[in-house]
Amino acid sequence: MIGGFVQRNIHGFTEDELDAIEAVLEHWDVDLADWLSGRRPIPPDSDTPMLRRMVAECGRTGTGVPPGAER
């Protein structure tokens, strides 16, 4: 999910947004997976605009499904 988000958006990221992505990637993978999938809410001490943006985009139907795998 994260790789797809970055790939779709990296061309338009500012330096500050690239820094924000790096900060998001400092979290444990299991936490990111839970937050991005909606299994658990983002805790207040980890909540950032970039992480909320990722949650919004990654929560769309079909996100993370490889091209051609849709049925």
- Residue 50 included in any domain: yes
Range(s) of the domain holding residue 39: 2-6+13-58
25-42 pLDDT per residue, tens: 999 999 999 999 899 999
* Position 48 confidence tier, pLDDT thresholds 50, 70, 90: very high
The number of CA neighbours under 13 Å toward the Cβ of 11 is 3
- The answer to whether residue 68 is domain-embedded is no
> Could you tell me if residue 66 is inside a domain?
no
Domain count, the chain: 1
**Axis crossing angle, helix 2-9 with helix 49-58, rounded to the nearest 10:** 100
Residues recorded for the chain: 71
Q: Evaluate if pTM is beyond 0.95.
A: no
CB-side neighbour CA atoms (13 Å) of 17: 12
